[in-house]
Structure 1
Amino acid sequence: MKACAGDWVEVLSKEDILRTLDKNGRLDELPFMPQMFKYCGQRFRVYRRAYKTCDTVSGHYAGRRLQDGYHLNLRCDGQAYGGCQAGCLLFWKGAWLKPVDGPAQVQYVPKRVHSPSAEAASPPRCTESDVLGATKRHGAGGDAKYSCQATELLNYTKPLSWWDARQYVDSYRSGNRTLPEIARGFLYLFYYYGTLAFSDRWGHPARWLYNRIQAITGGIPFPRLRGTIPVGQPTPRRDLGLRPGDLVRVKSYEEILATLDVKLSNRGLSFDAELVPFCGKVFRVSTCVERFVDEKTGKLRRMNTPAVILEGVSCKALYSGQRMFCPRSIHLWWREIWLERASVEARPKVTLSSIQAGASATAEHVHPT
């Protein structure tokens, strides 16, 4: 199947999907996860073609290539994974989907082989129980280790160099990105490297000019500045007691930098450049993350202090050199000290003019990854 963003597709029946899976519930090493069965027979628009993704397992955060992959804007509910609250975007293989003309639902009638001998000769290699059983195993110490699309990412993808131009062509041809979006992304990278904005020693004028231009045009401030707290010193904490549905405003970039150490961390949670475009804006709380599956180990981890996921806020991959235009749309996590309660009448703050001094020695740049 070859579909683009915005095209309508229908998820095949459970029986048809099981026929594509091996005994471990995988196709080309991509796990089909138990919660995906509930979408069988339903129709959705393609959210993004997943021709590439980003490596969140090894810690390199580089690009990875994926064959025949799609995102339908459906996320993992975590029920089969110890109640994980990360809400990862699900990957779908083209073999699990079929193109359709529109959203009209039709009664799905699975194809049946009328020859008993043919059915006996090709029994399903995988059952629904196999899919569920493949989600978890117990180690020698009895600790559960989970296996999902996030933990197995390196097994069903291949390395993708940032200079491979085909991925940027695919970004446009797939409908994932528009030409203006791609142009703005490359303009940022050319400016970042071409003007030495990345340099501690020589980059101050370029960062200052970037912020001046963005303040005039209403754009996003230079997104790779350092925090102000020396490594080893404690970073501040603030508890707002947030709950899903609460309305919050993201603080200004300048205010958030004051809560970060020079490695852009607040009590272990990093503040990435992809969070900067949301500063000063108002959102509702979607989830307060207390537990998640560690993609590196497969173990369920609990947060000492819950992180916050905001409705409609995910990574756009606009400022990340090695994973530009990644379609994975990972939820961005926020500390409560980066937020403040807001009223229904709240409006976003204008923050660009307040960070003119952000490129000074008290807030140095960070190299993109």
Structure 2
Amino acid sequence: MGLRVGDVVEVRPAAEILATLDGRGELDGLPFMPEMARYCGRRLTVHKVAHKLCDTQTGTGLRRMERAVHLTGARCDGSAHGGCQTACSMYWKEAWLRRVEPGTAESDAVPDAVPDGRLLALLEPNTRRPPGDDGGERYSCQATELLRAAPVCLPVRSVGQYVTDVRSGNAGPLRTLHALLIGVFNRVQAVSARVLPARLRFREGRRWGFLRPGLRGATPTGTLGLRPGELVRVKPKAEILATLNERMLNRGLGFEEEMARYCGTVARVQARVERCIDERTGRLLTMKSPCITLENVVCQGVHSLNCPREFVPFWREIWLERVTT
């Protein structure tokens, strides 16, 4: 279809989508999830062309995705996956969409108020994996199956990805060049950290952004009792780094370069996060202390070669401060 950012598409009716799916409710290894069924018949705008993604399971770098997009406002609500609150931006195969040309009248298809029963009968059983060794329930979703849906690694030197970034509208030329330079720099730093003695490494071989944690051992806690709608400010980078251990974690939750770009930003609390699916195992994790998500604060892919996944970062309350008006 050659979709670009800003194109208007219509999600095909449930019966047409069902015809594209195999016995696991997948197309090319990518599940069509029950949370997506409510969009059947609706018109949405292409937010990003999902031609690549970052591997957050095994850390192999970027993976190539074929004929898929992200749609504006279409994030998973976790309703069929134990109430997972990760709020992933869902992947839509082009086969599940039809392009809407400018000036085209609304189709006769009415968005399904109740998702098609035949489609859900296929999808819902496939949201579960076999139980783990401990007998615990395990889930299957787009995030857990991404390595099957995108099996081919995409190296930094693959020039075509940057051309697609620009042509698709995912990013402008300067933004793409910026991301490429950071990617090359990080690759050189990773090699230097492996082969050079410490005294010869530039900035200790750290990735661009040069985050350096300030603690060894146990990390501090802090609670604000934040609620959705409250205004907060992300603390300065130095204050956050002082709460992290040598693995850049605070009680198991990581802080990354993309998050550091928001230091000093004022935003509203989106949600208190208590449950999320572990992409590697499919287990639904319950957090001992809730994390916070912020409105319109997403990973912008600057440090991951313009990856368009736009993760919603999780924030410890100790990294935030309440803003009073």
Map 1:40-119 → 2, pairs under 5 A: 40-58=40-58, 60=59, 62-73=61-72, 74-102=74-102, 106-109=106-109
- Which residue pairs with 1:332 in the alignment? 313
Contact (CA 8 Å) 1:41, 1:108: kept in 2 or not?
no
User: Which of 128, 135, 157 in structure 2 is aligned with 1:163?
Assistant: 157
Pairwise CA distance, 1:304: 1.2
3-state secondary structure, aligned to 1:314: coil
Measured against aligned partners, the alpha-carbon deviations of 1:156-193 in whole angstroms (never above 9, x if no partner) come to 11232222111111111111010110122234456667
Pairwise CA distance, 1:3: 0.5
How far apart in 2 are the matches of 1:330 and 1:103?
33
- Distance 1:102-1:257 versus aligned 2 partners, 3 A rule: same
Alpha carbon RMSD of aligned pairs, Å? 2.7
User: Which of 134, 138, 141 in structure 2 is aligned with 1:145?
Assistant: 138
Amino acid corresponding to residue 313 of structure 2 in structure 1: L
- Distance 1:69-1:248 versus aligned 2 partners, 3 A rule: same
Pairwise CA distance, 1:127: 3.5
How far apart in 2 are the matches of 1:103 and 1:17?
25
Pairwise CA distance, 1:86: 0.4
How far apart in 1 are the matches of 2:144 and 2:189?
38
How far apart in 2 are the matches of 1:294 and 1:194?
30
Measured against aligned partners, the alpha-carbon deviations of 1:37-86 in whole angstroms (never above 9, x if no partner) come to 1111111110011111111222x151111110110031000000000000
In the superposition, the TM-score normalised over structure 1's length comes to 0.78
Pairwise CA distance, 1:204: 4.7
- Distance 1:186-1:30 versus aligned 2 partners, 3 A rule: closer
Pairwise CA distance, 1:132: 1.3
Residue 341 (str. 1) matches residue 325 (str. 2): no
Amino acid corresponding to residue 342 of structure 1 in structure 2: V
How far apart in 1 are the matches of 2:105 and 2:230?
35
Contact (CA 8 Å) 2:156, 2:184: kept in 1 or not?
no
Contact (CA 8 Å) 1:226, 1:261: kept in 2 or not?
no
Contact (CA 8 Å) 2:129, 2:282: kept in 1 or not?
no
- Which residue pairs with 1:10 in the alignment? 10
3-state secondary structure, aligned to 2:296: strand
- Unaligned 5+ segments in structure 2 are 111-117
- Which residue pairs with 1:283 in the alignment? 267
Pairwise CA distance, 1:102: 4.4
- Which residue pairs with 2:128 in the alignment? 136
Contact (CA 8 Å) 1:35, 1:80: kept in 2 or not?
yes
- Unaligned 5+ segments in structure 1 are 111-125, 208-221, 345-369
Pairwise CA distance, 1:8: 0.9
Larger Rg: 1
Q: Percent identity?
A: 42
- Distance 1:186-1:153 versus aligned 2 partners, 3 A rule: closer
Pairwise CA distance, 1:109: 4.3
- Distance 1:183-1:246 versus aligned 2 partners, 3 A rule: same
Measured against aligned partners, the alpha-carbon deviations of 1:74-114 in whole angstroms (never above 9, x if no partner) come to 1000000000000011000000001112487624349xxxx
Show structure 1 runs of 4+ deviating over 4 A.
102-105, 189-196, 204-207
Pairwise CA distance, 1:276: 1.1
Map 1:259-274 → 2, pairs under 5 A: 259-274=243-258
- Which residue pairs with 2:213 in the alignment? 227
Measured against aligned partners, the alpha-carbon deviations of 1:289-348 in whole angstroms (never above 9, x if no partner) come to 11111111111111111111111111112123xxx111000111111100000124xxxx
Paired residues, number: 311
- Which residue pairs with 2:113 in the alignment? none
Contact (CA 8 Å) 1:51, 1:68: kept in 2 or not?
yes
Amino acid corresponding to residue 289 of structure 2 in structure 1: T
How far apart in 1 are the matches of 2:189 and 2:129?
51
How far apart in 1 are the matches of 2:182 and 2:245?
25
In the superposition, the TM-score normalised over structure 2's length comes to 0.88
- Distance 1:103-1:87 versus aligned 2 partners, 3 A rule: farther
Map 1:121-270 → 2, pairs under 5 A: 127-139=119-131, 142-160=135-153, 161-189=155-183, 201=199, 202-204=201-203, 223-230=209-216, 233-270=217-254
- Distance 1:109-1:258 versus aligned 2 partners, 3 A rule: closer
Pairwise CA distance, 1:203: 2.7
Contact (CA 8 Å) 2:203, 2:210: kept in 1 or not?
no
Amino acid corresponding to residue 331 of structure 1 in structure 2: V
Contact (CA 8 Å) 2:41, 2:109: kept in 1 or not?
no
Measured against aligned partners, the alpha-carbon deviations of 1:264-299 in whole angstroms (never above 9, x if no partner) come to 111111111111110001001112111111111111
Amino acid corresponding to residue 136 of structure 1 in structure 2: R
- Distance 1:22-1:234 versus aligned 2 partners, 3 A rule: same
Contact (CA 8 Å) 2:231, 2:266: kept in 1 or not?
yes
Pairwise CA distance, 1:262: 2.2
